[in-house]
Structure 1
Amino acid sequence: MRIDLTDTTASKVNKALVQGRRAIGTPAVGMVLTMVIVTDEENAYDAIKAAEEASHEHPSRTLVVIKRHARNLRDRTRSHLDAEVRVGSEAGTGETVVLRMYGEVSEHADSVVLPLLLPDAPVVVWWPVDAPDNPAKDPLGALAQRRITDLYAVEHPMEVLQARVRSYAPGDTDLAWTRLTLWRSMLAAALDQARVPVISAAVEAEADNPAAELLARWLEARLDVRVDRVVTDGPVITAVRLGTANGEIVIDRPEGPLATLTLPGQPPRSLALKVRPTSELIAEELRRLDADEMYAIALRGEATKETPVHV
């Protein structure tokens, strides 16, 4: 069911949510969190689709904040809110509210969002594009326990990565880091099998790949070795090589969803290492809402000597 509201208020949106749930025969709210998506019109469709797919694992109220640019003088001087309320099959397993803000109201999006948050439930804010320089100090980010950005969506990811180091606060994370979960799990498992000290390391990836840089920093921090950054044609990360006294530990994925793991003294074997869709990345981030300490370590490149590698 879909309800369109023009020149509305947060109070009327709340009433429409209640009306919609009653109309489809499910008045009880069984959602576990509020997801706030801050995006533009161009990227809204893909972000909403990813959030709705993730809601099958984490039923949530999704609030989509779209700040519309003024098309004429009247729009610049007139402040108003349009909303689109979706419940039932239109919104995955939760509720979706698309909030289009015009004029001055777009400068105070937090005052619109605050009354629409689920009571006594965690809040997650996700910026698919155009994240603020300091997510934790952003008015919307300040409402959240978890703040999700994406270095893949910026023009100069390495510069923004350094800015993230300076602005990091507990609760921040980035989908470039989430994309590394399978890589980190496989590397940790390979090191458990090899049980030998690593004396050299290299990460091979396309140029200026933020996930590759985070992976290299994580390895440096956890293994206390220098990690070489090797530029390849990609796509994304193509290989990780860990040198030991017994030979190299290698995970090689030149293309496609399969990688090859090679351990010293053992025959190569294939591993599934696919590039996951955004919906899976978001679902993973919603499984735990406490501070991601491993992301902080990788972001800052903090050395942790004699600490076992874990994900």
Structure 2
Amino acid sequence: MNIDLTDTTSSQINAALVRARRATGTPAVGMVLTLVIVTDEGNHYDALRAASEASKEHPARILVVIGRPGRSPREKAAARLDAEVRVGGETGNGETVLLRLHGELSGHPHSVVLPLLLPDAPVVVWWPNEAPRHPSDDPLGALGQRRITDAASAEDPVVALGSRADVYAPGDTDLAWTRITPWRSVLAAALDQKHAAITGASVEGEEFNPSTELLGMWLAQRLAVPVERSVSPGPGITAVRLATTDGLICLDRPDGSLAILAVPGQPDRQVALHRRTTAELIAEELRRLDPDEAYAEAVRHGVGKLGDPPATPREPGEPPGTSRADASRAADAGS
């Protein structure tokens, strides 16, 4: 059921949601969170489609905030709120409200969103494209327990990733980190199987791929060994190599789909490591609403420091990368 509202208010939108729920027989108590998507007119369709797909796993009220301040600073469009309420149909058990904020109202989106939040339910704010410099200080970001950005959508993804570390606050995360979850899981499992001292590592991926940088920073922070960063044609991350005292552990994915895991003393194995859709990434992020400490530690390691000596000093004679402790740390972060 779709309801179009022109020049409306938040109270009228709430009333329309109640009418739509009664007409479709969909209770609001079945929703577990509010997902606020902050985007623009040109990108809202893809973001909403991904969120709607993720809401099949996490029934949610989806609020899409689209700012339309005017074509130029001189053009002062009248402050107006237009909305489209969608309940049932493609939205499944959830609800979707498209909010188009015109004129000066586009500078105060929190005043519109706040009355529409589900009571006593967590709030997740997602910027699929351009994100504020300081997400937790943003008026909309301050409403959320979790704040999701995507460095890959920035003009310079690696610089954007560095800025995430400078302003990190508990609850922040980035889809560049979510994309490497399968890599971290496979590498952690490989280290559990091979208890050998790790002496170094290297990551290989596209030049401006923030996930490659984050994976290298995670390995450097967790294993306390130098990590080299190499550039490849892609797609995305193409290989990770861990040098151990028993030989080289290699996870190689040249085609973006199927990887080969080589561990010394064991036969090579094929690992499904496909590049996931945005809907799958958002669904993963919505499974946990507590601060992601592993992401915080990795992103704070520092962009551009790959290849530097480990920051943590070791005892004389201790090899760089102790086997069981490092494997345990990696497994904790990959779980």
Residue in 2 that maps onto 1:91: 91
Residue 266 of structure 1 and its aligned partner are, at CA, apart by 1.4
Q: Which amino acid aligns with 1:119?
A: P
Q: Which amino acid aligns with 1:237?
A: I
What are the superposed Cα offsets for residues 55-77 of structure 1, whole Å, 9 maximum, x if unpaired?
Answer: 01100000000001425899724
Residue 230 of structure 1 and its aligned partner are, at CA, apart by 0.7
Residue in 2 that maps onto 1:274: 274
What is the RMSD computed on CA atoms of the aligned residues?
1.6
Residue 125 of structure 1 and its aligned partner are, at CA, apart by 0.1
Instruction: Map 1:85-234 onto structure 2 (within 5 A).
Output: 85-234=85-234
Deviates more, 1:51-60 or 1:157-166: 157-166
Residue in 1 that maps onto 2:318: none
Distance in 2 (CA, whole Å) between partners of 1:276 and 1:76 is 42
Tell me if structure 2 keeps the 8 A contact 1:52–1:93: no
Deviates more, 1:290-299 or 1:156-165: 156-165
SS in 2 for 1:132: coil
Residue 136 of structure 1 and its aligned partner are, at CA, apart by 0.2
What are the superposed Cα offsets for residues 75-127 of structure 1, whole Å, 9 maximum, x if unpaired?
Answer: 72410000000000132320000000001111110010000000000000000
Residue in 1 that maps onto 2:330: 309
Q: Which amino acid aligns with 2:56?
A: H
Distance in 2 (CA, whole Å) between partners of 1:73 and 1:172 is 31
Residue 256 of structure 1 and its aligned partner are, at CA, apart by 3.6
Distance in 2 (CA, whole Å) between partners of 1:8 and 1:35 is 21
Distance in 2 (CA, whole Å) between partners of 1:274 and 1:155 is 25
SS in 1 for 2:142: helix
Tell me if structure 2 keeps the 8 A contact 1:75–1:102: no
Is 2:232 the partner of 1:246? no
Distance in 2 (CA, whole Å) between partners of 1:91 and 1:292 is 28
Distance in 1 (CA, whole Å) between partners of 2:148 and 2:248 is 35
TM-score norm. by structure 2 comes to 0.90
SS in 2 for 1:70: coil
Residue 27 of structure 1 and its aligned partner are, at CA, apart by 4.1
Q: Which amino acid aligns with 1:37?
A: I
Tell me if structure 1 keeps the 8 A contact 2:203–2:240: yes
Tell me if structure 1 keeps the 8 A contact 2:31–2:94: yes
- Give the count of matched residue pairs: 311
Q: Which amino acid aligns with 2:23?
A: A
Distance in 2 (CA, whole Å) between partners of 1:12 and 1:81 is 11
Residue 245 of structure 1 and its aligned partner are, at CA, apart by 1.0
Which structure 2 residue ranges, 5 or more long, are not aligned?
Answer: 303-310, 313-320
Distance in 2 (CA, whole Å) between partners of 1:267 and 1:13 is 60
Runs of 4+ displaced beyond 6 Å? 72-75, 302-305
Tell me if structure 1 keeps the 8 A contact 2:69–2:104: no
Residue in 2 that maps onto 1:31: 31
Tell me if structure 2 keeps the 8 A contact 1:2–1:90: no
Q: Which amino acid aligns with 1:309?
A: A
Residue in 1 that maps onto 2:5: 5
Tell me if structure 1 keeps the 8 A contact 2:69–2:106: no
Distance in 2 (CA, whole Å) between partners of 1:240 and 1:92 is 40
